[in-house]
Chains A and B, each alone.
Chain A
Amino acid sequence: GQQLNQSPQSMFIQEGEDVSMNCTSSSIFNTWLWYKQDPGEGPVLLIALYKAGELTSNGRLTAQFGITRKDSFLNISASIPSDVGVYFCAGPPNTGNQFYFGTGTSLTVIP
């Protein structure tokens, strides 16, 4: 089945640093969604991307829809302790009838 690979798998950063993570697939995606999940809770939608090359911001978060439509990137600027959690990319490929989540990037922010 489809696999969305996220890198890095985990990150340990100092408060105030910027963070970059990415997500790649073997298939073309029509939509890229980025979620944050805290332990024991449901994922929370951060950013939605709909067009190749699209760059969208939500506060300190910026995400981009790769021009090949097979990847996406998420950046967090000036990290704070509440950014701690697991970040997932997700979306439906342009073929098939499923919705896929990535392998996740675990972020730890050291005060």
Chain B
Amino acid sequence: DAGVTQSPTHLIKTRGQQVTLRCSPISGHKSVSWYQQVLGQGPQFIFQYYEKEERGRGNFPDRFSARQFPNYSSELNVNALLLGDSALYLCASSARVWDEQFFGPGTRLTVL
């Protein structure tokens, strides 16, 4: 069975631009969570979605938004990019809310 997939693998943007990251969960999982991981730190929780509804939100500005589609895949959008948004963005899927989370390989975002 396929694990969590994310696209793209790498992305380079400039300050002020907008970016969309995509995630497909493990088949049968209905929950998707997004994390930001800056080099040398643990992942920081951004959002969790379950059955297309937001079920959790971390301490991130409104420039960060997400949505979940009927097929349970998800997109993370970041507007008005800042240099500090450069990080590894991780997607995780789980069967239920706050359940065991399984991570994808991440998208490496570099903001210049």
Q: Which residues of A contact B (CB under 8 A)?
A: 1, 4, 30-31, 33, 35, 40-45, 48, 88, 90, 92, 97-104
Contact = CB atoms under 8 A, between A and B. Distances in A.
B44 interface: yes
Contacts of A30: 98
Contact of A45 (B45, B58, B101, B105): B101
B98 A44 contact: no
B90 to A, nearest CB: 5
A41 B6 CA distance: 12
Given A90-B42, A103-B42, 10 more contacts: A30-B98, A31-B100, A33-B100, A40-B88, A41-B105, A48-B100, A97-B55, A97-B57, A98-B56, A102-B42
B48 interface: yes
Contacts of A35: 103
B104 interface: yes
Contact of A42 (B45, B48, B90): B90
Contacts, number: 60
Nearest to B42: A101
A98 B45 contact: yes
A102 B4 CA distance: 22
Contacts of B101: 33, 45, 90, 99
B90 A43 contact: yes
B100 A97 contact: no
A64 B41 CA distance: 24
Residue from B35, B42, B55, B56 having most chain A Cβ neighbours under 10 A: B42
B58 A98 contact: yes
B33 interface: yes
Contacts of B98: 30-31, 92, 99
Contact of B103 (A31, A44, A92, A97): A44
Interface string B70-112: 0000000000000000001010100000101111111010000
